[in-house]
Structure 1
């Protein structure tokens, strides 16, 4: 065993028998090859734009070859039952958790638990921070009900990071007329950082649109204590000890 998979032979320690205690984070070798470790309780993933938050696409759309999470999670984790914790919209980027425990998943998602999710939304127009904060705290009525959020800050923005549209977007999201942002726009943009404790379908987009600020790009940066930080788009990382301790406290 060793403390890292690329440890040279001289840094590896021989396990003398089944009675020997082995650290839970130890890397094990057999005949010089790294053995797969246990299934982690949590994995952290940076979901790219235009990717479905499901493990397998609906059969009626499989000929369109749309990207989905089942294509990026390691097969050994799929076989062990790891699954995404909730969803991110097809055109939303950012942090999505994978869990190996159904009870944990339920507690991470149930509104009664109030687990915070933090987003940064790029919106059209200049934002009156005090006005928007009051509206979000009071509650914004949408076609899906009244939703509330906590405004953290408003920043100036250069606008969306890309103009490209995915050809499957309209079939995926079935956007309503009130959410249609396809018209040309060359005005100012703002970045709005806000916190919600629910995860209703396109809720953040609906709230901000109904407050007069249509969302052109959305990224989730935090789920509970787990932060995206500098994790690159399309990459995974293991949860830290502190993040795992928090996750276990929910069980």
Structure 2
């Protein structure tokens, strides 16, 4: 929390418990208390001295933290897994704050994953209107033509989703093994987005890695490594996810 009064739903979202929209729903439903008093008015402001409870659980007044994690393949983008598989927080045991992933990477996908306890920061980065570049490198079976790849730019229907790539390029071809390596940039990442697109055009993904997220990259890191974001990186990512940066 900051040193000034803030709207209750914003304080809840910043704590990492849930999104601001969900916090508003909880307030209206009478699930939030401030200093043991049930609050149902959305305009309510609270100070750092106030005690806030959500569903009977008191909010921890943690300082916001931001981490970049190089997720290996075979790791779940979650805090726990009922099948006993490795999860991202297994690799960040030294972090005392209650952090959670911003978005997800598939179990079989490696690369950049951001984690934080700042709900507002997470929600901004995930909002599709800010069009933050997420750059992936995919190894695919087969060698697609320019015409086939252009379908990704136009959009490919898969189930009820329209899947698109912002940009793409093919920068390596292995005719002997009949494989190609593509660089694909997305703004919005639906479930198994790239894998589903490539399946639809007939070139299944063999290996996939997210190499860049906005201004952040994996330079000098190995799978399983993590590091805190610098204040400058946080500031630049906030700028990318601000209304000032929305393309008209």
C-alpha contact 2:167 2:186 (8 A) present in aligned 1 = no
Residue matched to 1:162: none
1:200, CA displacement in angstroms? 1.0
1:89 paired with 2:79, answer no
Once superposed, what is the RMSD of the aligned Cα atoms? 2.2
Residue matched to 1:141: 157
Give the TM-score, by structure 2 length: 0.66
Give the TM-score, by structure 1 length: 0.66
1:125, CA displacement in angstroms? 0.8
Query: Using the alignment, how far apart are the partners of 1:231 and 1:144 within structure 2?
Result: 37
Q: Which has the higher contact order (CA 8 A, sep 6+)?
A: 1
Residue matched to 2:73: 49
Which shows bigger deviation, 190-199 or 225-234? 225-234
The 1:146/1:81 distance shift into structure 2, 3 A limit, reads same
Residue matched to 1:233: 223
Q: Deviations over 1:162-187 (max 9, x none)?
A: xxxxxxxxxxxxxxxxxxxxxxxx84
Query: Using the alignment, how far apart are the partners of 2:221 and 2:114 within structure 1?
Result: 13
Residue matched to 2:38: none
1:49, CA displacement in angstroms? 0.7
Residue matched to 1:33: none
SS at match of 2:75: coil
Q: Which sections of structure 1, spanning at least 5 residues, go unmatched?
A: 1-37, 160-185
Which shows bigger deviation, 88-97 or 227-236? 227-236
SS at match of 2:219: coil
1:108 paired with 2:117, answer no
1:153, CA displacement in angstroms? 1.7
The 1:97/1:136 distance shift into structure 2, 3 A limit, reads same
> Which structure is higher in strand share?
2
Query: Using the alignment, how far apart are the partners of 2:224 and 2:193 within structure 1?
Result: 24
1:109, CA displacement in angstroms? 0.8
Q: Deviations over 1:88-128 (max 9, x none)?
A: 10011111011221011011111122222110110011122
1:150 aligns with one of 166, 181, 189: 166
The 1:112/1:151 distance shift into structure 2, 3 A limit, reads closer
SS at match of 1:153: strand
SS at match of 2:115: strand
C-alpha contact 1:46 1:94 (8 A) present in aligned 2 = yes
Aligned residues: 180
Residue matched to 2:138: 121
Q: Which sections of structure 2, spanning at least 5 residues, go unmatched?
A: 1-61, 243-248
Residue matched to 1:219: 209
